Amino acid sequence: MEAFNHRLNTYIDSWMGPRDPRVRGWFLLDDYPPTFVCTILYLLMVWMGPKYMKDRQPYSCRRILVVYNLALTLLSLYMFYELVTAVWQGGYNFFCQDTRSAGAADDKIIHVLWWYYFSKLIEFMDTFFFILRKNNHQITFLHVYHHATMLNIWWFVMNWVPCGHSYFGATFNSFIHVLMYSYYGLSAIPAMRPYLWWKKYITQGQLVQFVLTMIQTSCAVVWPCGFPMGWLYFQISYMITLIVLFVNFYIKTYKKHGASRKKDYRNGAVASVNGHTNGTAPAETVKHRKPRAD
C-alpha cells in the first residue's frame, strides 16, 4: 500500500505541481486513496442502501437528526465566523488573493478550510439518514453529485491552494449551511414544522452563492495576482454545473409545485403548511415532500 501511495502521489504531483507544505502530515491529506475510498463507499451506500431498506420499515431517526443537524449548524457557524475574521485580519482582496500573502491570516484560513474539507465527509450522513428513513426521492442526481464531488475537490484544494482566493466559496457556503442545517434540525421536531417557511429561500441563497462565487473567481482571471489560473478555470466550470443543476431543481420543486397548489386551491382543496398539519406528516403529503438540495 505504501508503494502504491508513493507512485500515486508521484503521478499526482507531476500532474498538479508541488503541494503546499503547510498541510504536510495533516489528517487525510497526505494520500488521496482514503478520500477516494470514502467516495466509493458513499456511492455503494447510495446504490445498495435503498435495496437493503426496500422490505424493511423506515427508521424515525428524529432525535439523532436534531443532534446531527445542530452539530453541523454549529460547525458551519464556527467556520463562517473564523473565515470572516481571518479574511478581515489578513486584508484579503475580493478581486484576487494569492496563497502566500497574508501571513498568520493564511495559516488561520488553512486550519478552518481543513474543517471545511472534513465536513464534506461528515455530510455523507445526510444521504445515510435519507436511506434509513426511506426518503429515496431525496437522493437525486444533484444530491449525490454535489456530495461526492465536493469531498474530492476539497482534497485537491487543501493540498495545492488551501487559502488565498479559495476562501470565498467556503465562507459563503458555510453561511448557507448555517441556515440549511438549522432548518433541517428544526424540521425534525414535528411541532416546529408549521413555522418553517424559509426552505425556498435557502435554495435561492445557494444559487446566489454559486453566481457570486463564479463572479469572484472570474475577477481573479481578469485581474490576476499569482493564484493558479488552472484552479480558477476549474472553479468557474464547476460553478456552472451547479447553477444548471440547482436551477433545474428549483424550477421542478417550486415553480411546478406552486402551479399545482394553485390548481388545488381552485378545486377547493385544503393545503397544509409546508406539507404538514399540526406537526404531523400525513401519508399523502409525505409522498410529495420537496427534495433536499444540498
- Annotated catalytic sites, by residue? 146
Q: Distance between CA 283 and CA 46 in Å, rounded? A: 24
Q: Report how far residue 81's alpha carbon sits from residue 262's, in angstroms, rounded to the nearest whole number.
A: 41
What number of CA atoms fall less than 13 Å from residue 4's CA on the CB side? 4
How many CB atoms lie under 10 A from the CB of residue 160? 20
Q: Which residues pair with 280 in a beta bridge?
A: 277
277 backbone dihedrals φ, ψ, rounded to 5°: -130, 125
Report the sign of the C-alpha dihedral through residues 260, 262, 266, 269, in that order.
positive
Facing residues of 262 across strands?
Answer: none
**Run of H or E including 150:** helix 141-160
> Which 3 state secondary structure label does DSSP give 273?
strand
130 exposure class (CB count in 10 Å sphere: 0-12, 13-18, 19+): buried
CA distances from 129 to 23, 62, 186, 287 (A): 32, 10, 15, 17
d(CA 265, CA 291): 22
Report residue 112 as a C-alpha cell.
478552518
Could you tell me if 124 and 49 are in contact, meaning their C-beta atoms sit under 8 angstroms apart?
Answer: no
Q: How far apart are CA 120 and CA 242, in angstroms?
A: 16
